[in-house]
Amino acid sequence: MMYWVNLAFKNIMRKKQRTVLTMLPIIFGTAILIFILSMLAGVNNDSKLNLRNYESSDLRIVHREFSLEKKGFGVQETFSIPDDIIEYLEKSEIVYGFAPEVIFIGNLSDGRNKMPVICRGVDYNSYKKVFLTFEKVYPTLESFQNGRVLIGEDIYKWYEMPYDSIFILQSRTGGGTFDAIDLYYDGIVATGNPKIDRTTVYINISDADKFLNLNSRVSSIAIKLKKDTSLDKLIKDLKPLMEHHPDLKLISWEDMAVDIIAIDSAKKYSSSIIIFIVLIIGGVGIANTILLSVYERMKEIGTMRAMGASNATLVKMFVFEGASMGILASIIGMLIGTALMAYISFIGMDMGNYIKDIDIGYPIRSLFRGSFDLMITFKAGLFGLIIGIAASFYPAYRVVKENIIRTLK
């Protein structure tokens, strides 16, 4: 085996410049493939974490009429909190916390300007056990009093109101009429989730209940599991209780992440197609280089065949040359790609100046981090090696088809 490897490297080093130029597409393709797959995996993971930590929680109890296609909750889709379910959640060993929410659409105004917002009525103590939102409030809160409002970071930039300024929140109430409530500005919410930072405000759940005339009804109950516990087990345990409440249903964070999963699959597919084309170009380059080598060494090949070299020996020689270029290019590409993967995974890329207010489909604001996974490196490198081996078969086939006498002329 080592004889063939040494022979292959000696042959490809005859024309160093041509060999290097041939390997460049595979080096470039392998490195970029590792980088893109790492970034997409990291963005996908961060998106799901942001969704669970700030929007969906692990599981929600919602009204039967709630639809994911509507992308929101309506005042008419509220329900009374079921005592038996609350009792189970309080006693469950796998539930870390749960938080009732009132979620509705309204208009936020400073008296001059007005913008549509998603308003979440929450209880401070229960909400901070389920979501990380209150850890991202500036200035830091020790409690969340009635008559106060927290606004997303980008909403604050729109208004730029001083602390304790009065905002006016307008919305349609449970009775179908429009009403307004005055609220004192209490802080900024900066989560890094664009949907929260750009469009969401928070008020006390008791303010939301009185304002909308809900009579203690809520839009949903968000549930957070303890670490290393099964969502399927919780759903299974809740099903008998849910049968007593036909107006309610369960939706998991996976149901609410369907758009993220679809976008991630589409971007992985399209990116892989582009990189695959680049690697195919590299494979064509290897085939072309070996074919040139065949014609340059035709007399050598003829001499070897005249001395009794079998077709299998000649094919093996050129396949090893193609494999050598493929594996050498892949190793260099893997090293460069791993360095890029380490950078984007541990440092990240701040894309805030480029994205700004553009909706990229992921619940990530600006900092993109990759996923450091050496299996990505291995798969990309293996693909480059396969391209090199496959590309060498055609030139090798041309060798064995040549007439011995013609090769010696």
Q: If we measure between CA atoms, which residue out of 197, 170, 158 comes closest to residue 108?
A: 170
Query: CA 97 to CA 128: how far, in whole Å?
Result: 9
| Structure-token pair, residue 333 | 């590409």
| Structure-token pair, residue 371 | 């996923």
Longest Cα–Cα distance of the chain, Å, equals 100
Q: If we measure between CA atoms, which residue out of 136, 118, 127 comes closest to residue 190?
A: 136
Give 312-315 contacts, CB < 8 A, sequence gap 24+: 314/396, 314/399, 314/400, 315/393, 315/396, 315/397, 315/399, 315/400
Query: CA 122 to CA 156: how far, in whole Å?
Result: 20
Beta bridge partners of 80: 217
What percent of the chain is modeled with pLDDT above 90?
Answer: 14
Whether residue 170 contacts residue 179, with contact meaning beta carbons closer than 8 Å, is answered with: yes
Q: Using 50, 70 and 90 to split pLDDT, how confident is the model at 153?
A: confident
Instruction: Compute the residue count for the chain.
Output: 409
Whether residue 150 contacts residue 188, with contact meaning beta carbons closer than 8 Å, is answered with: yes
Phi, psi of 224 (to 5 degrees): -115, 130
Q: If we measure between CA atoms, which residue out of 210, 238, 342, 264 comes closest to residue 51?
A: 264
pTM over 0.85: no
CA angle 341, 344, 347 (to 5 degrees): 130
C-alpha count within 13 angstroms, C-beta hemisphere, residue 398: 15
Q: What is the pLDDT of residues 123-134, one digit of tens each?
A: 988 999 999 888
Q: If we measure between CA atoms, which residue out of 305, 320, 396 comes closest to residue 1?
A: 320
Q: If we measure between CA atoms, which residue out of 136, 141, 164, 140 comes closest to residue 152?
A: 136
| Structure-token pair, residue 133 | 């939102």
Give 92-95 contacts, CB < 8 A, sequence gap 24+: 92/234, 92/237, 93/226, 94/225, 94/226, 94/229, 94/230, 94/233, 94/234, 95/223, 95/224, 95/225, 95/226, 95/234
**Would you tell me the crossing angle of helices 298-306 and 258-296 to the nearest 10 degrees?**
70
Match 């490195």 to its residue by tokens: 31
Q: If we measure between CA atoms, which residue out of 316, 286, 274, 283 comes closest to residue 400?
A: 316
Write down the pLDDT at residue 218: 92
**Would you tell me the crossing angle of helices 258-296 and 374-401 to the nearest 10 degrees?**
30
Q: What is the pLDDT of residues 164-223, one digit of tens each?
A: 788 999 988 877 788 889 998 888 888 877 888 888 999 999 999 999 888 888 999 999
Gyration radius from the chain CA atoms: 31
Does the bond joining 246 to the residue before it have cis omega, within 30 degrees of 0?
Answer: no
Q: What is the pLDDT of residues 294-330, one digit of tens each?
A: 666 666 666 766 676 677 777 777 777 777 777 888 8
Residue 355 class from Cβ within 10 Å (0-12 exposed, 13-18 middle, 19+ buried)?
Answer: middle
Looking at residue 382, its amino acid is L
pLDDT mean over 252-263: 73
pLDDT mean over 239-268: 79
Q: Using 50, 70 and 90 to split pLDDT, how confident is the model at 141?
A: confident
Q: If we measure between CA atoms, which residue out of 217, 203, 148 comes closest to residue 171?
A: 203
Write down the pLDDT at residue 326: 79
Q: What is the pLDDT of residues 281-295, one digit of tens each?
A: 777 777 777 777 766
In the three-class reduction of DSSP (H, G, I as helix; E, B as strand; rest coil), residue 175 is classed as coil
Query: CA 117 to CA 344: how far, in whole Å?
Result: 33
Dihedral sign computed on CA atoms, order 333, 338, 343, 349: positive
Looking at residue 286, its amino acid is I
Q: For residue 328, what is the DSSP state?
A: H
Number of neighbouring beta carbons within 10 Å of residue 316:
15
